[in-house]
Structure 1
Amino acid sequence: MLTVNHTRPTGPAGRVSRVETLMLGTAWRDFGYVRVHTDEGLSGIGEITHPYRGAEVCALTESLAGRHLLGADPFDTEEIWLRLYQGDFLRGGDLGGIALSGLDQALHDLMGKALGVPVYRLTGGACRDTVRVYANGWYNGERDPETFAAKARETLAKGYSALKFDPFGPGLHELERAELRRSVDLVAAVREAVGPDTDLFIEGHARFAMPTAARLLRELEPFDIGWFEEPMPWTHIERYRELRQRAAFPISGGEHFHNRYEYKQLFATEAVDIVQPDLSMAGGFTEIRKIAATADTHGMLVAPHNSNSPLCTTASAHAALGIPNLKILETFDSLLEDHVFAALRGTLPVENGHLPLPTAPGLGVELADEVFAEHPPTHRFWNMFSEGWEKRNRT
């Protein structure tokens, strides 16, 4: 099972003949991509962005392909997923999870192109006509109520009806009293600015100890938030259920888990109300459907995490269309420079806070190599435990 089978009839995409990786520099982070070629002249792409270890993920992706993907039929996605994961002893983790996810996306892109249909047609079809998205990254500026309120209004003017932000600034485990008051004031200012009909989601970035997380539940209750995301580190996953029982609003999380096996404890402990798998971290199309289905058996909704490029946004829309228990999808697209969209030709546009139904074969996106050459990796790093992290190295 764990070796490439060359004796089966070859599917319409042919067999994998070459795999390459590319990186694109931006003012925020470096975006990573994989492109898989077949002997029939087709190519499929996937996203392999890691916030800080892009070169390492690219190297792993290429070595995985050399060991397990060359000569494979792209339509054998289940076997290929198992071959990459079990055959390479990945055993989870971020580097392996991202590499596997990107390769799986690329295989689905190849299948769609070979058959002449959008990827969502291969992953359950459509349960809806559009995918609702929320904006993140819009608050990259001075951390004061007036600035946050103004930026929130600007983002709503672009058509969004849902926003997420981290109001808490730097810190780990606890917040000083003045910092806590400042954080709550930011939430209050944004809620007042956007009115009662806008969904607000609050990000905790998995960094508070239980007493601080519990205090924040009380402080955030007046603002009618849609969820409190990752209030505690996942090293304390057994305490999430206790926190949920205290909360007057949903608790969400799961972006840091990279496959169904890592998700087992989250489901077993009923840690969250809303799960947030990332298509470029949690195993690609092959795996995210399993995670969403398991969430459904626990009465949980799915709000996919997506802090990556517009390619992941587009690919996530394909996945989200077929998830019956979908809530909403994340996007940072409004944060990005024009050259990112020039490098990724054919990504779905955000229109009035929604992504439209895709029509092009595969993912519908092609990489413009000449734009990549003009914007090499920048190797930026933003430390969210230091003052001013929310600016994300932008001036």
Structure 2
Amino acid sequence: MKIVDIKTAVVAYHGKATLVRIDTDVGLSGFGEANPDAGAAAIVGLISELKHGLIGEDPRNVEHCWEKLRRSHVFAGPQGGIFLIALSGIEIALWDLAAKAAGQPLYRMLGGKFRDQVRLYADCGDGDDPSGSTEGCVARARRVVADGFTAIKFDIDDLSHPEKFDTANHTINGAELRSMVERVAAVRDAVGPGIDLCIDLHARYDVPSACRIAWAMEPFDLLWLEEPIPAENVDALRQVRARSRTPICVGENLYLRWGFRELLQQQAVDVIMPDVPKCGGLAESKKIANLAEIYYIPFAPHLVSTPLGTMATSHVCAAVPNFLVLEWHALEEREAWDSYVRAPNGARSIVKDGHIALSDAPGIGVELNMEGVRRHAVPGYGIFD
């Protein structure tokens, strides 16, 4: 079996999500997805260049193909960024092909499963009110918990807060902090102590602000406080973690095993959150999870993917012992999100009661619904042309 072509399609989700299809000379195709945050034009263009390095290769040699592309472009930025995002989409499609060729579900290709279903946390963003009001957060929290989710996350980094002193320096002031505490307290009171609650700061703040926020969050028993400062300075992260009893979660903007090595070695984090269709792909994220296990750190992937990338990531979550919970980020785009694949057993969605059941079908376990793809395709990119 040889690769004959690699094609892409771009659909509306979290901006523009890039889907990848790898075709072979035996008529079998594999599908993958690249993280949308880098911009579809860049990802599509890079994949169109990278594919020439894989024409004629056996797609079942997944890690060989991955390393061939990465090592042959050593001066083109294969350490992170857009290159790794494009490579991640290709790698996921390779694994889908390899598993289909073997007639096995993807988790079995990754060493088997520790669990039959993957628990999700619902990313609730700013709540039902775009301004992030306390009432809007409470309304969304109650609705999501009623839908079966046992873990939720809210954003509380408001850079447009009316009492913010400076648009460039994000050092927090008392009014901002009081607003944060009010929202989190209201959500915790609304959902009770039995729901895991995460809070995201999107790497906005400095060390003193991060510590103040972390201390203020302690009464609310958070599962984690996400990216209170940028992840690039591990020494600074270690300071925040050492000074806080609130667990710190980091990793959505890190790439490859090497991006997590120092973070783990210096014990600067409590939970890691690599984004699988961004950090290098399925095998690489499993290696990151295994590395974290050495330090007894749980693995809770960040994720902004269609059901295709979500189900692919779920296979990794099933295949590692230290999995904690997986992000689900489609509350505001649910109709389009569900339409992109045909869920197993005729179900409306792959998400049920805050969980995803692992598919035993060969490959990723879901097939694209081309009607949904065409309906929500972004003009100008083509659909696997």
TM-score (norm 2): 0.90
1:10-29 correspondence runs (5 A):
14-26=1-13, 28-29=14-15
Q: Does residue 330 in structure 1 map to residue 319 in structure 2? A: no
Please point out which of 239, 244, 247 is paired with 2:244.
247
RMSD: 1.8
Whichever residue aligns with residue 36 of structure 1, its letter is I
Identity %, equivalent residues: 37
- 8 Å CA contact 2:80, 2:279 repeated in 1: no
Q: Does residue 360 in structure 1 map to residue 346 in structure 2? A: no
The alpha carbon displacement at 1:247 in A equals 1.4
- What residue in structure 2 maps to residue 50 of structure 1? 36
Q: Report the more deviating stretch, 105-114 or 342-351.
A: 342-351
Q: d(CA) in 2 for partners of 1:289 and 1:200?
A: 25
Q: Report the more deviating stretch, 172-181 or 226-235.
A: 172-181
- What residue in structure 1 maps to residue 61 of structure 2? 76
1:211-222 correspondence runs (5 A):
211-222=208-219
Whichever residue aligns with residue 112 of structure 2, its letter is G
Q: Does residue 61 in structure 1 map to residue 62 in structure 2? A: no
Q: Does residue 273 in structure 1 map to residue 274 in structure 2? A: no
- After superposition, the C-alpha distances for 1:324-369 in whole angstroms (9 at most, x for unaligned) are 1111111113332423322222376222221112121101222334
Whichever residue aligns with residue 180 of structure 2, its letter is S
Please point out which of 300, 316, 319 is paired with 2:316.
319
1:1-395 correspondence runs (5 A):
14-26=1-13, 28-66=14-52, 68-89=53-74, 90-137=77-124, 139-141=127-129, 142-170=131-159, 173-346=170-343, 349-377=350-378
Q: d(CA) in 2 for partners of 1:176 and 1:263?
A: 32
Q: d(CA) in 2 for partners of 1:122 and 1:50?
A: 26
Return closer, same or farther for 1:95/1:70 CA change in 2, 3 Å cut-off.
Answer: same
Question: What 5-or-longer segments of structure 1 have no aligned partner?
Answer: 1-13, 380-395
Return closer, same or farther for 1:73/1:52 CA change in 2, 3 Å cut-off.
Answer: closer
The alpha carbon displacement at 1:164 in A equals 0.8
Q: d(CA) in 1 for partners of 2:307 and 2:379?
A: 18
- 8 Å CA contact 1:15, 1:70 repeated in 2: yes
- After superposition, the C-alpha distances for 1:172-191 in whole angstroms (9 at most, x for unaligned) are 63223222211110101100
Return closer, same or farther for 1:235/1:317 CA change in 2, 3 Å cut-off.
Answer: closer
Look up the SS of the partner of 1:301 in the other structure.
coil
The alpha carbon displacement at 1:93 in A equals 2.0
The alpha carbon displacement at 1:378 in A equals 7.8
Whichever residue aligns with residue 33 of structure 1, its letter is L
The alpha carbon displacement at 1:152 in A equals 0.4
Look up the SS of the partner of 1:86 in the other structure.
helix
Whichever residue aligns with residue 266 of structure 2, its letter is T
- 8 Å CA contact 2:35, 2:304 repeated in 1: no
Q: d(CA) in 1 for partners of 2:379 and 2:137?
A: 27
- What residue in structure 2 maps to residue 387 of structure 1? none
The number of residue pairs the alignment matches comes to 364
The alpha carbon displacement at 1:374 in A equals 2.9
- 8 Å CA contact 1:349, 1:356 repeated in 2: yes
Look up the SS of the partner of 2:72 in the other structure.
coil
The alpha carbon displacement at 1:50 in A equals 2.2
Q: d(CA) in 2 for partners of 1:23 and 1:284?
A: 19
Look up the SS of the partner of 1:35 in the other structure.
strand
The alpha carbon displacement at 1:91 in A equals 3.0
Q: d(CA) in 1 for partners of 2:124 and 2:189?
A: 19
Whichever residue aligns with residue 48 of structure 1, its letter is A
Question: What 5-or-longer segments of structure 2 have no aligned partner?
Answer: 161-168, 381-385
Q: Report the more deviating stretch, 229-238 or 345-354.
A: 345-354
- 8 Å CA contact 2:147, 2:353 repeated in 1: yes
Look up the SS of the partner of 2:276 in the other structure.
coil
- After superposition, the C-alpha distances for 1:238-286 in whole angstroms (9 at most, x for unaligned) are 1111211111121111111121122222223222111111110111112
- 8 Å CA contact 1:277, 1:288 repeated in 2: yes
- 8 Å CA contact 1:125, 1:322 repeated in 2: yes
